[in-house]
Amino acid sequence: MTIVTRFAPSPTGLLHVGNLRTALHNWLLAKKHGGRFLLRIDDTDSERSEETFVEAIREDLAWLGIEPDGEERQSDRFKLYDQAFDKLHEAGRVYPCYETAQELELKRKIQLGRGLPPIYDRAALELTDEDRASKAAVGEEPHWRFKLDHDAPIAWDDGIRGPVKFDPAQLSDPVIRRGDGSWLYMLPSAVDDIEMGITDVLRGEDHVSNTAAQVQMFEALGAEPPRFAHEALLVGKEGKLSKRLGSLSARALREQGLEPEALLSLLARLGTSLPVEAIVEREVLIEGFDLSTFGRAPAKFDEAELDRLNAQIVHRLPFAQVAGRVPDGMDEAGWEAIRPNLTRVDEAGEWWAVVTGTVVPPAFNEQTRFYMSQAANALKAIEWDENPWHVLTSTLKETTGRKGKELFLPLRQALTGREHGPDMGALLPLIGRETALERLEAAAA
């Protein structure tokens, strides 16, 4: 059987790291087994769904290299949902309810106060045909619930959590349709999974109770439920994912100059027993993906770890891959020299300015200024070969007796205006003999 997974975002906002992790894991699961990964746009909420967010979802997945093998939109599939609803209605598995949101909230509070689970009491099932007719006569439109079968427990073998069992009597009959006829998540999602041939649903553990209800929906519609796996949710360093992190979007990360490989490396293995390490090749992530490595403990998302991975990724990027993102005039030699000091590619401009821009050395004392004049004279006399830095410092070591920090640091400060940075052996040839001489003479003045 070909494995088919799906990612089903609602286009009501930008994708954040939690969404991206779900998309990535479903893509990896499909690719690991030579299957198909589908994108389903859950846009049944016409008031909140926006086309700009649909485009943003596609852009974010493309940035990460997550390519769907097909795409569906729920707004094109209302006829399927109507047919499923009619089938369930004929089977007595859906029923109309008339309670307002305020009435339901009051019921929940009363149940909690009595130490009872705050589930729907099925009061609407007691309504007679005359009751419903009188409500319709005054314009009351019902919302509709799926009637759970209380006769047998709901059970499945979860791909991460293992055997899972629910007593349906301890669950509320889920609302599947609003009074205005619009759809909620539960039924359309089950219908789509059937019609799209979804074999595996991998999602957050906050959906476990939804899965219990949907298992019965699949069965009521005459379909075999897909395999389910529920992974631990992301949390922040303090134990709860902050609102800022929870809304940390792919677009924001991209605009910050983050490499997609860094985010993939972190999200692919976050919450598993596998080491989180910088991985450039997606094939490595695919090959290593295994639901058996997932744990039950919350997965901690740490921006500092993401930055660390990003720096490691940048240090491996070849010039050909960044040529369009570096400053004008920077060639492969310049990239190779500056790359080890970068955490993000867009920092290259700051370091390239050390090569091509104006450098302001510190205010040296008289002794150091004299040393700078010695360095300028030495630079005039040496052969400018493949390693002028080595020749210059060797000459100065011999003529001045300086060594270590006393030898190297003033030279770096005069030539770059900084106390640290790229290897001077690689940087000095880029600066060039004439510019280097001008900087040494200016530092000596």
Q: What is the tens place of the pLDDT at every residue in 50-98?
A: 999 999 999 999 999 999 999 999 999 999 999 999 999 999 999 999 9
Determine the pLDDT at residue 239.
62
* Region class of 15: left (phi > 0), else alpha (psi between -120 and 50), else beta: beta
Beta-carbon count within 10 A of 356 CB: 16
Q: Which CATH number fits domain 90-177: 3.40.50.300, 3.90.800.10, 3.30.70.790, 3.40.50.150?
A: 3.90.800.10
Residue 327 is given by DSSP the state P
Q: Under 8 Å CB-to-CB from 62, ≥6 apart: which residues?
A: none
- For 337, phi then psi, to 5°, come to -75, -40
pLDDT score, position 191: 98
Q: Residue 248: pLDDT band by 50, 70, 90 thresholds?
A: confident
The DSSP call for residue 291 is G
This prediction has a pTM of 0.89
Q: Where are the domains of the chain?
A: 4-80+186-235, 90-177, 254-314, 319-355, 358-444
Confidence of residue 194 (pLDDT cuts 50, 70, 90): very high
Known binding residue 165? Answer is: no
Q: What is the mean pLDDT of residues 257-278?
A: 96
CATH number for the region 4-80+186-235 comes to 3.40.50.620
Give per-residue pLDDT as tens, 146-158: 999 999 999 999 9
Q: Is 40 strand, coil or helix?
A: strand
Which of 43, 23, 30 has its CA nearest to residue 250? 23
Res 275: pLDDT = 95
Residue 132 host element (H or E): helix 129-137
CATH of domain 358-444: 1.10.10.350
Report d(CA 311, CA 144) in Å as an integer: 52
The helices-and-strands tally (H runs, E runs) of the chain is 20, 12
Q: With cut-offs at 50, 70 and 90, classify the pLDDT of residue 244.
A: low
Same fold yes or no, 4-80+186-235 and 254-314: no
List pLDDT tens digits, range 349-365.
999 999 999 999 999 99
Residues of the chain with pLDDT > 70: what percent? 98
Taking only Cα atoms into account, the Rg of the chain, rounded to an integer number of angstroms, comes to 32
Strands 175-177 and 143-146, how do they pair? antiparallel
Could you tell me the two tokens for 293? 């490595």
At residue 166 the predicted structure's pLDDT band, cuts being 50, 70 and 90, is very high
Q: What is the mean pLDDT of the segment spanning 9-28?
A: 95
Q: Kindly state the helix (H) or strand (E) to which residue 393 belongs, with its residue range.
A: helix 388-400
Query: In angstroms, rounded to a whole number, what is the distance separating the alpha carbons of residues 142 and 145?
Result: 10
Residue 240 has pLDDT above 80, yes or no: no
- The CATH code of the domain at 254-314 is 1.10.1160.10
Rounded to 5°, the CA angle 31-32-36 comes to 30
Residue 109 has pLDDT above 90, yes or no: yes
Among residues 202, 212, 65, 205, the alpha carbon closest in space to that of 146 is found at 212
Give the strand pairing for 299-300 and 234-235: parallel
Count of CB atoms situated within 10 Å of the CB of 123: 12
Per DSSP, what are the bridge partners of residue 73? 41
List the Cα angle 292/295/298 in 5-degree steps.
150
Question: Nearest to residue 146, comparing CAs of 107, 93, 189?
Answer: 93
**3-class SS of residue 6:** strand
Kindly state the tokens that stand for 292. 């058996």
Find the Cα–Cα–Cα–Cα dihedral 63, 68, 69, 75, rounded to 10°.
-140
Integer angstrom CA distances of residue 305 from 263, 265, 278: 10, 10, 10
Tell me the β-bridge partners of 300: 235
Collapsing DSSP states into helix, strand and coil, what is residue 229? strand
CB atoms within 10 A of CB 265: 24
| Contact criterion met (CB below 8 Å) for 316 and 294 | no
Q: Write down the pLDDT at residue 238.
A: 66
